[in-house]
């Protein structure tokens, strides 16, 4: 089983709609979870972090965490063409402190 899994996409969402990105992880001991956005040809940038079960909102972004089911999701409300990018889920392991990235989901916002 892969340690951090994401649907590779592409995920196409109409402008103004809600984009939903999902990520599952295998290490039950993980305590922190991160979402990065990577535009084509650019380096990743951290957009959300979440540590507790439930929702965390920041502007148009909402991160959701369910530790029992071992998944974390990212919702983007009122999607804009500028949200078109690859979104990477990252989970630090509890045992060895290395951080594992999913392969990313390509999101395409349709104007």
- Binding residue (CB under 8 A) for another protein from 104, 105, 106, 109: 104
CA distance 92 to 3: 10
**Binders in 73-92 for another protein, by CB under 8 A:** 88, 90, 92
CA distance 3 to 27: 7
Q: Compute φ and ψ for 5, nearest 5 degrees.
A: -120, 140
Q: Does 97 bind another protein (CB under 8 A)?
A: yes
Nearer to another protein, 19 or 91 (CB): 91
Sheet with 54-58: list strands edge to edge. Answer: 4-6, 19-25, 71-76, 61-66, 54-58
Under DSSP, is residue 13 helix (H, G, I), strand (E, B) or coil? strand
**Binders in 31-60 for another protein, by CB under 8 A:** 32, 34, 42-46, 49
State in angstroms the smallest separation of the CB of 93 from another protein. 9
Residues that bind another protein (CB under 8 A): 32, 34, 42-46, 49, 88, 90, 92, 96-104
């Amino acid at each position: 089983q892969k340690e951090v899994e994401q649907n590779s996409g592409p995920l196409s969402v109409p402008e103004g709609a809600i984009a939903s990105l999902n990520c599952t992880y295998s290490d039950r001991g993980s305590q922190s979870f991160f979402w990065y956005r990577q535009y084509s040809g650019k380096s990743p940038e951290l957009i959300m972090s979440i540590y507790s079960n439930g929702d965390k909102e920041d502007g148009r972004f909402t991160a959701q965490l369910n530790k029992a089911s071992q998944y974390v999701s990212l919702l983007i409300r009122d999607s804009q063409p500028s949200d078109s990018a690859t979104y990477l889920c990252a989970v630090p392991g509890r045992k060895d402190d290395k951080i594992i990235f999913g392969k990313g989901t390509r999101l395409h916002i349709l104007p």
